[in-house]
Amino acid sequence: MLEKYKLRYSVAMGRAKSPAESMATALVQLRRARPGDPAVEQAEKELTQAMGEQATYSKAAAARLMEVSLQTLDTWISRGLLPAVRAPGHKRERIPATALIDLAAEVGELREMGRKRGLLAEAITRLKERDPEGYKHLQLLRKRASRPFDRSEYVSAKPGSDWSPED
């Protein structure tokens, strides 16, 4: 009987995972462990089918899976990085499983790479590989930002002749 109450407490405190959350966590770990491995791809396909096409997660469950705060998750939703939908039978917005798992795997991979190499360096390398035009635009912005200022661009902070101590 005590075990039953311990489980309820751990669920209420957000520590226990539902079977759907456990499957999503396993799927994210599989993707990160050995990407491109045919056995992993097959297991990923089977897990995705088991979760179903219409599977959605609450924002709290999504935040736990991604290991971010609810505020961060809401920010990502508002910026369009993660969709939120009104699922039938639920009052609040929910996160579609496929989009959540894709982003969770990407975030986990970036975190891991960031520990090894540096997150910014990894993000720039990925931008170069995946979006060459975006990378060119970034390089152009960096060149503009690193050029020295011309004296004519400076604005004096010295008060003008029309300034008086009463101002």
Tens-level pLDDT at each residue, the chain (167 residues): 444 444 444 444 455 567 777 777 777 777 766 667 787 778 777 776 766 655 888 899 889 888 889 999 999 999 988 998 887 777 888 888 888 888 888 888 778 877 777 777 878 888 888 889 988 988 888 887 776 767 777 777 777 778 777 76
Q: Is residue 164 part of a domain?
A: no
Q: Is residue 111 part of a domain?
A: yes
Domain count, the chain: 1
HSE at residue 102, side-chain half, CA atoms within 13 A, is 8
pTM: 0.55
The H or E element that residue 85 is part of is strand 85-86
Q: Is residue 2 part of a domain?
A: no
Distance in angstroms (rounded) separating the CA atoms of residues 152 and 166: 30
Which residues constitute the domain of residue 52? 9-117
Q: Is residue 29 part of a domain?
A: yes
